[in-house]
A and B are shown apart, each in its own frame.
Chain A
Amino acid sequence: MRHRTIQNMLLLFREGRLEAERHRQVAEHIEQCAPCRVLAERLGRIYGAPATDRAVTAPAALYPRVRARWQSQPAGIPASAHIRSAWSTALMPLGPGRSLAAAVLLLAAIGAGLILGALPNEAPAVVDQNQPWKEVFYTDMLQADNTHSYYQVVEDLYKPAAAEEK
């Protein structure tokens, strides 16, 4: 096995968490490889060092702060008024009121989109009743593609009709 593969397994090796075969391979490797052996010892020392923060205590100022806040709260307030669980925070990051309003607005927007999408596409107002295609087609083509001139549009439109007449 490569050094890097071995090195990635060194902490699990030191902790005795590798499978028997893997454990044997790593043990054989570090017996012959000084850098990996040093690294294994270093990792074991770092991970196995006693937690120094066990001696850390709460600051003296914390007690009066908590007590004052506790005393200022009226008795008998239901816990639900204060507690927001991880789930409710995830689902309602803005708070219940704002989240509800946002949800209503979102649903209204989706509904409006569905209703508008279901309506039939109506042609724009026709200027010339005898030649209705002109206004419609001309407007559409100009909006969609600036390379078409008005005359090309008219010519294209006449082509199928002329073929039918023949």
Chain B
Amino acid sequence: MNIIVCLKITPDPEDLEVGRDGSISTERAEWTIGGFDLPALEAGVRLVEAHGGKVIVLCAGPAEINNSKIKKDILSRGADELYTIVDESLRHAGTARTAAVLAAAVQKLGEVDLVLSGEGSADLYFQQTGVQVGERLGWMTINAVSQIEVGANGALAIQRTLEQEIELLEAALPAAIAVTSDIHEPRLASMREILKAGRKPTFEWSLAELGVADLPETIDILKVEAPPRVARKQVMIEGSPEEAAKALLSHLRKEGVL
């Protein structure tokens, strides 16, 4: 079974800088693999370990994603090959553009049975791109999948976690599946895998090579700003634990919240 895993490399949300005027900057942020995408990679690697085939990772984004440390990290977690699609227009792309680009790459790779994506990207978390890729391919498309097994008939046996219930589904391949963040705990790479990663193939494609250089943009981003913040008193309570506990309770009684 050949599996493509879509991973988004983004500025680390924890490095977001908020200016006094409410402006937001990611300029000094380190770029990382989305934390909610790694479980999708783990799911792909486990399926291939059990059933054979290979895991190909696809990452689309601006030039920052061409980061050798991140690439090595991806390949040391069990991926066999890595394709990056680099274009400045992907930095602020609507999900329609990103999905069209990823779907074009899946088509170009061919001979793929399953496309996995994460629960949501670390920067946008729109939970959209993976399902749009599946629909653009015309494949069976399912989200919120918390377990994947291959049944005796070759179809996938899937567990899906909804708000109030769990569904057990059977889905024929080829399929596009967006997994939940708790489908698997992502593995830590072993020393052996890290050494192997340096010898694994990586490729870079341009939008022109995929035939998607002239996609129209569907959104116009007007503003990015910090959310309104609630003003808080910011009283720090000092003293021994016993003193601090008593002082806190007396504050809370005065506030009328006990």
The answer to whether A and B interact is no
Which residues in A have some Cβ–Cβ distance to B below 8 Å? none
Which residues in B have some Cβ–Cβ distance to A below 8 Å? none
